[in-house]
Amino acid sequence: MTARKITPGRRTGKPKFRDRQPPQPRNNLCQSPAKPWLAFKSYRRTLMADAMHEVAIMEEAVRTAVATAQASGASRILELRLRVGSLSGVVPEALQFAFDVVCRGTLAEGAALVVDTVPATGWCPDCQAEYACAHYFSECPHCQNFNGQLRQGRELEISSVEIS
């Protein structure tokens, strides 16, 4: 039997975009400043595609905050504070990115975004006890039952708007 060498590239065909190596500098002159910018650009593009869900959520939050601020006669929003459950399906980093985009040209431009994460907690009716949930269907750590109720962890709400 002859030995066969299998490389990931050969076996899976064309390498996927994420498997590609970042471009290497061709000489010593252009090592740092230009190349990391390329890496940043592609990172940002991926984040933007993934963040559409968060952009829609943030549009709604900023619209509500601006309406509240205007009703109070405010000229600016200084800080927007959100409560985000750990099982809400929202990525906090993407929220920050979405916030920066959505705030442009509104009362909230330049405002700080504070995201308070709410840990998911289940309630087991058999044990009459609360427990931490990593998923929607987390078992009770005491009796291993799955019939607990999720008490918190799905929040997606504004907790405060600081205005001036």
Which secondary structure element, helix H or strand E, spans residue 136, and what is its range?
A: none
132 binds Zn ion (CB under 5 A): no
77 binds Zn ion (CB under 5 A): no
136, amino acid identity: Y
142 binds Zn ion (CB under 5 A): yes
Taking CB under 5 A as the criterion, the residue among 74, 127, 150, 156 binding Zn ion is 127
Instruction: Please identify, among the stretches 18-26, 29-37, 115-123, 143-151, the one whose residues bind Zn ion according to the rule CB under 5 A.
Output: 143-151
Instruction: Please identify, among the stretches 32-40, 57-65, 85-93, 142-150, the one whose residues bind Zn ion according to the rule CB under 5 A.
Output: 142-150
39 binds Zn ion (CB under 5 A): no
- Yes or no: say if 98 and 51 are a contact pair by the CB < 8 Å rule: yes
158 binds Zn ion (CB under 5 A): no
CB of 139 to Zn ion, least distance (A): 8
- Yes or no: say if 46 and 16 are a contact pair by the CB < 8 Å rule: no
Taking CB under 5 A as the criterion, the residue among 19, 60, 126, 157 binding Zn ion is 126
SS3 per residue for 16-75: CHHHCCCCCCCCCCCCCCHHHHHHHHHHHHHHHHHCHHHHHHHHHHHHHHHHHHHHCCCC
133 binds Zn ion (CB under 5 A): no
Residue 146 gets the label, from left (phi > 0), alpha (psi -120 to 50) or beta, of alpha
Q: Which is nearer to Zn ion, 54 or 122 (CB)?
A: 122
Joined tokens for residue 11: 């076996």
143 binds Zn ion (CB under 5 A): yes
Q: Is the four-CA dihedral 70, 98, 117, 156 of positive or negative sign?
A: positive
Q: Which residue has the tokens 């405002």?
A: 111
150 binds Zn ion (CB under 5 A): no
50 binds Zn ion (CB under 5 A): no
User: What number of chain residues touch Zn ion (CB under 5 A)?
Assistant: 6
Q: Which residues bind Zn ion (CB under 5 A)?
A: 124, 126-127, 140, 142-143
